[in-house]
Amino acid sequence: MEPVSGDLPRKVLVLGGGGREHAIVRALQRSPARPELWAAPGNPGIARDGVHCAAVDPLDGDAVVALVERAGIEFVVVGPEAPLVAGIADRLAAAGVRCLGPSQEAARVEGSKLAAKQLMAEAGVATAAYRVLESREQALAALAELDYPAVFKADVLAAGKGVVVAADETEARAAIDAYFVERRFGETAVLLEEFLVGDELSLLCLCDGERALPLAPARDYKRLRDGDEGPNTGGMGSYSPVGEVDSELVAEIVATIHQPIVDALRERGTPYHGVLYGGLMLTADGPRVLEFNCRFGDPETQALLPRLRSDLLELLWRASFAGGLDGASCEFADDAAVCVVLAASGYPEAPRRGDPIAGIEAAERTGALVFHAGTAERDGQFVTAGGRVINVVGTGPDLAAAREAAYRAADLVEFDGKQLRRDIAAGRS
């Protein structure tokens, strides 16, 4: 790579405390610059890796800035979307600290589905056709001419829960009541979207305000149960690479989707710095955007970063400068990685907390990676403390080997009511 814009930061803070952040921390620890790492709030697995964990809420801008000043942090990597949508990047910029993650205005690619649609129209990016429903009456009137499945999306940040794919009129009516009568997502408009058919793909790009540099393609599994049954979740597993998505297709997607968005935001005067996550449907008519996220994917990151051969710290740092990624490359190993999420009993509706977790070390001894997501430590024992508890990542020369390694290790981690999908990366090559 070409020289870096300024020296690499020596003290780095990662905001968040899930499996994604654990994977980010591990990759930053591989940086030759050997930065001192902090996390807020982090988790017990991150702490065990020697990272300073501070009990600070990433959504509390004042507390984050105070921590940054107290600890002499030079660079902040923001894991989750909520602090970005709430403007943490702007707060840090005002405090003179660089950050990986877009400004509040640019984070609207994720924060508002309607704003994202308008931006895509402006940038000429292909996405599902849609209309806006402002009221129950309008929604009921739309029912008359609806084809099924029909896709409804609340125009708010709802961790994936604001989306309903209705199979028939009964489900559509239930969705309309949830949005407009129960107001489950508050006073929000709802998008009614064309249903797209195809395979989903997550393609994440690092953006420096001017250029979009792709990471390897990845795929995640959003439904709770095998065969894509059951409720939507935050993600039950992931894998990378994606065999049918070769470098030509990646280049085409970046040229027609990510780069036009980066260009449009630069022209608007709100340049995009950070990870631009394209959630795509590979349709018969070409790739279409389902959604954008303004940060690393969870659990895609857990399968992506173990394969990264470039220095993550350098890449993220360069992305925070206008044009900083000029001449940068993002190299991945030829091997494959499969991430299996172990979720708590009751996930996603009401995950149970406090179940003792055994077998983490045995899983690690197999050579698999174990990332903590929703865990806590109680009397020296790890216990469940969130919906997605542990992420186990297997690697190998191909997906079949990585898959076997992931499940061998996943079966060694035990807790009451453990839920996992058995079909992550199954039948894929």
Q: Binding string, 161-180, against ligand AMP, x = CB under 6 A?
A: --x-x---------------
**Helix, strand or coil, per DSSP, at residue 378:** strand
> Is residue 287 a contact residue for ligand GLY (CB under 6 A)?
no
> Is residue 217 a contact residue for ligand GLY (CB under 6 A)?
no
Can you tell me the distance from the alpha carbon of 139 to that of 175, in angstroms, rounded to the nearest whole number? Answer: 10
Phi, then psi, of 86 in degrees rounded to 5: -85, -5
> Is residue 148 a contact residue for ligand AMP (CB under 6 A)?
no
Q: Provide the minimum distance between the beta carbon of 362 and ligand GLY in the complex, in angstroms, as a whole number.
A: 27
Q: Are 313 and 28 in contact (CB under 8 A)?
A: yes
Q: Which of ligand AMP, ligand GLY, none binds 163 (CB below 5-8 Å, type-dependent)? A: ligand AMP
Can you tell me the distance from the alpha carbon of 165 to that of 152, in angstroms, rounded to the nearest whole number? Answer: 6
Q: Would you tell me how many other CB atoms lie within 10 Å of the CB of residue 161?
A: 15
Q: Provide the minimum distance between the beta carbon of 20 and ligand GLY in the complex, in angstroms, as a whole number.
A: 8
Q: Are 247 and 255 in contact (CB under 8 A)?
A: no
Structure tokens at 152: 């409804």
> Is residue 297 a contact residue for ligand GLY (CB under 6 A)?
yes
Phi, then psi, of 261 in degrees rounded to 5: -70, -45
> End-to-end distance of the chain based on CA atoms, in angstroms?
31
**Can you tell me which of 21, 74, 208, 300 binds ligand GLY, judged by CB under 6 A?**
300
**Can you tell me which of 25, 64, 196, 308 binds ligand AMP, judged by CB under 6 A?**
196
Peptide bond just before 348 cis, omega within 30 deg: yes
Q: Which of ligand GLY, ligand AMP, none binds 193 (CB below 5-8 Å, type-dependent)? A: ligand AMP
Give the footprint of ligand AMP on residues 56-115 (CB under 6 A): none
**Can you tell me which of 193, 210, 298, 355 binds ligand GLY, judged by CB under 6 A?**
298
Could you tell me which residues are beta bridge partners of residue 377? 382
> Is residue 200 a contact residue for ligand AMP (CB under 6 A)?
yes
Q: Binding string, 83-122, against ligand GLY, x = CB under 6 A?
A: ----------------------------------------
> Is residue 222 a contact residue for ligand AMP (CB under 6 A)?
yes
Q: Provide the minimum distance between the beta carbon of 227 and ligand AMP in the complex, in angstroms, as a whole number.
A: 14
DSSP 153: E
